[in-house]
Every structure is written in structure tokens, then in C-alpha cells.
Chains A and B, each alone.
Chain A
Amino acid sequence: MSIDLSQFIPTFLEESFEGLELMESSLLNLKQGDDDSINAIFRAAHSIKGGAGTFGFNRVTDFTHEVETLLDEMRDGRRNITPHDTDLLLKSVDCIRLLIESARDGIECNDPQIDANFRAIQLSLNNDDVVADACSTPSDDPACAAEEERVGWLIKFVPSHEILQTGNDVLRLFIALEEFGQYTTEVDLGELPPLAELDPQECHLTWKLTLTSDCSLDDVNEVFEWVEDECQLVVTPLQASQTKANEEQGISDDVVAEAAEVIQPQASAPVISEAEKVPVQSVGSIRVGIDKVDALINRVGELVITQAMLKQIGNELNELDDDNDTLTRLREGLVQLEGNSRDLQEDVMRIRMLPINFVFNRFPRMVYDVSSKLGKQVELKLSGESTELDKTVMEKIGDPLVHLVRNSLDHGLETPDERIAAGKEPTGTVHLNAYHQGGYINIDISDDGRGLNTEKIREKALEKGLINADQSFSDQEINELIFAPGFSTADAVSDLSGRGVGMDVVRRNIESLGGHVSLSSTPGKGSIFSVSLPLTLAILDGQLISVAGQTYIVPLVSIVESIQIQQAALKGIAGQQSLYLYREQYIPLYSIRTLFDLPDKTSEFDEGMIIIVESSGHKYALLVDELKDQQQVVLKSLESNYMAVEGISGATILGNGGVALIIDIKGLNNLKKQPTSFDTSPQMLQGVCA
């Protein structure tokens, strides 16, 4: 019969991909004797096979069936878990994935690795000595000897008295047998109590059935599987030679007692269910389309704007009448509204937050593959996998992180021989650690390899004209040049770190998410790359400032301190006021007026506010006219209708309906085109970097 279930395919796909991920992660950690994992892997393959069968994805079904067979032998103990098989299974997971994707897209999958893999599995299956005899399951044993002559089954069915109370209907069970062939029954009334004592809710009858069919023992057992604990079931082969007379004698009660223990379909393997092994979520979950979440976030954003507008009006009313009771209550209400909005906003943003494990989980496999290819021994450590970040940020951070890890594997870690020669353990370590800090999530990628080769980088930079021979830089500054565009130390383009993708693209991608990447390295000991990303994209806490009558916003997370301008702290270079002395260190001074080319520049240094901000580990002094309110603002892109502007990360709509631009500190840097770090050495103060 054909029923159209194609509308349910998306669910099957989702479940299957999740199952494949589970198989992969379990296979990577599989050890001999780990029954739980093997069973979990088997079940995942089994589910995929079943589902694929439902939808007619025959290639998936056929392929997965072979994989399942191999896994079945492993979980039954008939096959040892060897590295060869584990590797084969991992590759099989890739194949199944490809096949499912092709099935989903409705195209033929012609990837040669699939056939090769299929053959490899069959080879593996045929090679090893399988412990069991020619018949595939132990419970078939009684039938084996009589295989050729068997024409059916003799079934003695002795239900427990309470069988009806589980809603089972004995007659219907028999009728289900009809699916396989003809049967006759013979009922035994021997146990029936006298009518006066008979409880109609109990069953006191037993039956002997003769089923003529070529079905298997499994088929018969399956019909009775629901009641196996509530009955005694003895199934023996029905020989062609047996007559009705024979079968009466053939089955005695002794056999019933014995056989009842032997013939129990596959209840033996003590499987601990997945639910007990992994932490069970005590709260349910629902899948929600991402567009609904985004719509909700926009709605909350609008609410924040409206609330800011009301707050503004509230402030204006304040000035009118201090004593009015109604106004006081209104004010209190507005304060409460602000709290509610803030809480709502936080809750809503959290909906989009997912644990970074979604990204981390691709690394074990990647490290496994790459380290094998490079002939290096690598241990991957993951920590902070449950640290959460915004879904969109997570989707975009995957590739840059992969690139950084590949970089460590390729350039950072040494081969086992090199490591031993250096007095290290032959197995190197790559550690990914995620944690929250301030309003950011930090991901540190560290390795215990050879560290960055500062000399080589310096040479390359000189070669590429990124620096001049007469300039002196700290090792840190040289190391950071690997982020400069066009820089690559790979002599040949390997397919791992090469492909023309450099660290500068990695950095740009991270920065386009509002994040930052930095590095530190110790020669011979290793390197650490630190990526930091903002937790929320759309709503930020801002400090309103005013410059030349225009209102701008500085993100509160970047602000270290705000102080009144001190004339003595100003320091000029070549006639221009460019530095500010802050806590015994000279930091760059940025005049917003100048950078944004706003009118009336003459007296800005007389009065004004200095806001000390921090970005990418560097401090800057921003010169503005006035500090105003602090408020939550909704970040709106300038690029939707206009274009990107250097020094501006976006815009927002104020309570009064006007537009305020949000300052991007890093962008200001580019506007000014000054060196990004300072010491007080004369060369540095004079020098210009590119």
C-alpha cells in the first residue's frame, strides 16, 4: 500500500543528521567493551535505515544495512572493535551523509568513495570468523537442523490469567498470524474453573496452533512480542512429515518449561537506555522557526525605543511639577517599565543563544582526520562547550575557528619525532576553551607546539614590504603581522592552511561580527589565539555624547572611564594634539570633531570631556563636548538603505525620534591612520606603520 508521507521527510532528515553526528562522536571515542556506545551507534544506524525505508531512499537503506550488520556483530560480541573497523565506520558515516543529502536533493550520488566503502564493509564482514553457526541468530537454532523440511510452526500458547488486563485480545493475536499463512487452533479447556468461580476478566484457556507458512521464527515471535512476559510460548518447527497425531505427542509440558526459558526473542542484551546515560532534560523543548525568533526580537527592539521615548517624556514632566502625586506614580511606572523592558530584552536574546558545542563538535573529527594526514599525534581538549552565544554569531564563527585550529595543527604542532627531540611528549595538545567575560564570549585556541617563528615572519614582512628594515618592533608586533593582508608563510599552498585564505580574512570575519582576535606566543612552548565576540548583536548599552550639537553613542562596554579634560595631559606631535597622558601612559587622542569633520574646531581643547575607551586591548582617549544619558539602544544598520561608514558601527533611533550614530572605536583608528600601540620611545613616536 502506498501512503504519501513526503511531508514528513524534513523531520526524518533532521533526525538522521543528528543521528550521524552521534555516531561520529561515539565512534571517535570508542573502546573495546564500551557496550553503551556501540548500542547507541547501532540504534542510530537502525533508525536511519528504518526511516529511509519509509521514504523509499533505497540507496541509503541498502548502504546503512551493511553498516548496521557490522555494528550488530560488534554489539553481540561476535566481532572485536578494531581501529580498522572504527575508521571504516567513520568513513561510512560520511557516506551515509552524502547519500542522504543526495536523496534529499533528488540527485544521483556518484561519489566513488561510497562504492569503495561499501565493498570494504562487505570485505570486513566476510573476512572475520563469525562465532555463531550458519544460522544468524541463536534463537533460530532449533529450526536450523530441520530447515529444509520445515513447512510451518507448532505454537503452544499459554497465556497468564491476567493477560486481558493489558488490553490484549488473544484472538486478534492469532488473526495477526494469518498474515503469514493458514493456521488451525486447538483450545485446551483443562484449566477452566467452574462457572460460579469464573472471573470473566481472567483468561484460563490455552491453545495449540498449527501454522502453515514459510515465515521465520522471528516473524512468529514478533506477533507475540507484546505478551512475551505474560505467557509461555513454545514454538517448534512443523515438519512436513509430522502428522496431526505426532504433534499432540511432540509437545509435552516438560518441553514447555524448558523451552520457555530458551526461546525468548532478544531480551538478553542488558542495554542501558540513552535516557539514563546522558543527562535527561527535565523541561521539554519545541522547535521554533528562526524567522519567528527574529520577528520577536525586532518587536522587542521597537518596544525598547518606545520605552525610551516615554522615559524622555517622563523626564520632561519631572521638570514641570515635582509634587504631583499622579506624576510620581507615572514616574515610578516608567521606571518599572524600563526594568521590564530590559528583562524582556535579555530573555528574548537568550532565546537565540545556543551552546558553542554546536561549533565545537566538528573539531574532534577534523582533528582526527588532519592529524592522521599530517602524521602528527594530537589530543584535542574542549572546555566550556556549554558556554552560550548568539546563533548567528555561532554560524559565522565556525569557519574562522576551523582555520585557526588547522593553523595550530599545520604550523604550530611538531611531528612526534620533533617533539621527542625537543624533550616533549610525542602527543601534542590543542585546547579550545570558551568562557564569558564582560559582555563577551572568549574562545582561546592554544597549543603546546613550537610557537610562532618571529624571525621568519619578520623576513616575510620585509619581503612583502609590510615593514622597513630600519624600523624596530617588539616580537609581539612582528607576530601580529600575520594578520596583515597578503601575508602567508606557507611556502606551498597545502590544502589545509592554504587555498589563499589568510589570517587577515580570518580577522576580518571575526571583526565583522563585532569581535576581535589576538595572539600570544612563546617560542618552543606554544601559542594562544584568543577570539572574543560580543554576546548580543542588536541591543547595546550606550553612553550618549554630544559633539558640535550632534548626538553620538559610545558603547558602554568599551568605556573605561570618563574625565574632564586636563590641559597638562595633552601632548602634541608635530603641532597636532595627538596624545593624552592617562595613568602614566600616553595613549592616542581622538577628537570626534576632527575625525568626523564637524564644524567649530577652535576651542574644543579648552573644555570638554575625555572618554577613555578600550578596543582590541588598546586604550584611546575620545574628546567630546558633553556626556549625556546612558541608555539601551537598538542597533540599526546603516547599510540597509545607505552604506557602511568607517568609524560608525550603526545607528539608533532616540526617544525623541532623532537618529544617533553609534561610534565604532576600531573604525576611528582607521580614520585616523595612526599606529595602534605606543611606547614612549622616540622612534615609535616618529614612526608610521604603513
Chain B
Amino acid sequence: MARILVVDDSASIRNMVSFTLKQQSYETVEAVDGNDGLAKAQSGRFDLVITDVNMPGMDGITLCSKLRLLPAFKFIPVLILTTESSPDLKMRGKNAGATGWLVKPFNPDKLLSTIKRVIR
């Protein structure tokens, strides 16, 4: 089953997302901020990265652009978690190479159906 990297500085969000994904037998790895995310990304193979935007250290948008520079992550889907659907944020995400976005407060059913657009 697919392996997903979950990056968010909020423990409750990480827990919720991980929990939901694991219910569907996805494998998850968690990271607490951009730097941690980048480090963990290079530790193994991933099929999808889900990251928050506002995090200490390195934010999600920067993480996305850095991931895109790694050969292994050039085509890996990266989804950013936002609390609002602002076009400005979406554009910044897109410019950094993000695949798409998920809006918080998150709905687990929505999460699971939406990621089907990018992974099995």
C-alpha cells in the first residue's frame, strides 16, 4: 500500500490525518515541520506528501519547492493543507510545484476520496 508523509506542526492535525489514512491501510510517517519533513522525505520512498503551510522553521510552500528539486520527488504528489481556499495561497502553492490542496477543518471522508486523485 502507498506510503504517505504527513507534515504539520500541530500534533492534533498530524494525528487525525495519520489515523484516517491508516484506517485505509496506508502507511504513514509524520514530521513536525518543514525541516523535519525534508529530512524524513529523503529517508525512504513515498507516494504522497501532505503538508501544512504555516510551520516554524521551514514552511510548507518552501518544503514543496525543495522537494521538487530532489529527483525522487519530482513527480510525487504534494498536497498542502490550508485553512481557507484563497486563490493567492493556491497560486503560491502551484508556483512551488504543489499538486493540489486540502482545506481544513478536514473531513476524513473527503481526505480519502480526494487523495484518490493522485494515488491508489
Contact = CB atoms under 8 A, between A and B. Distances in A.
A is bound by B? yes
Interface of A: 1, 3, 5, 7-8, 11-12, 15, 43, 47, 50-51, 53-54, 164-169, 172-173, 175-176, 179, 201, 223, 225-227, 229-230, 267, 270-275, 283-284
Interface in B62-100: 68, 74-78, 83-84, 86-89, 91, 94, 97-100
Contacts of A274: 84
Nearest to B68: A165
Contact of A43 (B77, B84, B116, B118): B84
Contacts of A176: 113-114, 116-117
B101 A8 contact: no
Contact of B117 (A3, A47, A53, A173): A173
B105 A50 contact: yes
Given A172-B116, A176-B117, A179-B113, A166 B98 contact: yes
**Top 8 closest A-B pairs, CB basis?**
A226-B100, A284-B56, A167-B77, A167-B99, A51-B105, A11-B12, A176-B117, A273-B86
Given A53-B107, A274-B84, A229 B16 contact: no
Given A1-B112, A226-B100, A272-B88, 19 more contacts: A3-B20, A8-B15, A12-B105, A47-B83, A53-B107, A165-B68, A167-B78, A167-B97, A168-B99, A168-B117, A169-B118, A169-B119, A172-B117, A175-B116, A176-B117, A179-B113, A201-B74, A225-B100, A284-B9
Contacts of B104: 47
Interface string B2-30: 00000001001001100110010000000
B97 A166 contact: yes
B46 to A, nearest CB: 11
B38 interface: no
A168 B108 contact: no
A173 B117 CA distance: 5
A168 B118 contact: yes
B108 A166 contact: no
A53 B88 CA distance: 27
A7 B119 CA distance: 28
Contacts of A175: 116-117
A158 B106 CA distance: 30
A169 B113 contact: no
A222 to B, nearest CB: 9
Contacts of A172: 116-120
Contacts of B97: 165-167
A226 B16 contact: no
Contacts of B56: 283-284
Interface residues of B, number: 43
Q: Which of B68, B100, B105, B113 has the most CB of A within 10 A?
A: B105
Interface of A is mostly: helix
Nearest to B108: A3
Given A1-B109, A11-B12, A54-B107, A168 B100 contact: yes
B99 A54 contact: no
18 contacts: A1-B109, A1-B112, A8-B12, A8-B16, A47-B83, A54-B105, A169-B77, A172-B120, A179-B113, A201-B74, A226-B101, A226-B117, A227-B100, A229-B91, A270-B87, A273-B84, A283-B56, A284-B55
Nearest to A170: B117
Contacts of A284: 9, 55-56
Given A8-B12, A172-B117, A229-B94, A273 B105 contact: no
A47 B120 CA distance: 28
A219 B117 CA distance: 14
B14 to A, nearest CB: 11
Contacts of A5: 16, 19-20, 108
A167 B118 contact: yes
A573 B76 CA distance: 91
Contacts of B116: 172, 175-176, 179
A579 B119 CA distance: 87
A166 B120 CA distance: 17
Contacts of B19: 3, 5
A168 B77 contact: yes
Given A166-B94, A176-B113, A273 B88 contact: yes
A63 B106 CA distance: 20
B43 to A, nearest CB: 19
Nearest to A268: B87
Nearest to A283: B56
Contacts of A12: 105
B90 to A, nearest CB: 8
A267 B88 CA distance: 10
A165 B78 CA distance: 11
Contact of B74 (A165, A173, A267): A165
Contacts of B84: 43, 271, 273-274
Contacts of A271: 84, 86-88
A283 B114 CA distance: 32
A54 B108 contact: yes
Nearest to B86: A273
A422 B116 CA distance: 72
Given A8-B12, A229-B94, A167 B117 contact: no
A223 B100 CA distance: 11
B64 to A, nearest CB: 9
Given A47-B83, A167-B75, A172-B116, A226 B105 contact: no
Contacts of B78: 167
Contacts of A1: 23, 109, 112
A15 B105 contact: yes
Given A50-B107, A166-B99, A167-B118, A3 B77 contact: no
B47 to A, nearest CB: 10
Nearest to B56: A284
A280 B108 CA distance: 29
A638 to B, nearest CB: 41
Nearest to A285: B56
A510 B85 CA distance: 46
Nearest to B102: A226
A169 B76 CA distance: 10
Contacts of B113: 176, 179
B75 A165 contact: yes
A5 to B, nearest CB: 6
A50 B86 CA distance: 17
Contacts of B76: 167
A553 to B, nearest CB: 43
Contact of A3 (B23, B54, B87): B23
B79 to A, nearest CB: 8
A51 B114 CA distance: 17
A273 B93 CA distance: 14
B40 to A, nearest CB: 18
Nearest to A168: B99
A51 B13 CA distance: 13
Contacts of A168: 77, 99-100, 117-118
A15 B54 CA distance: 16
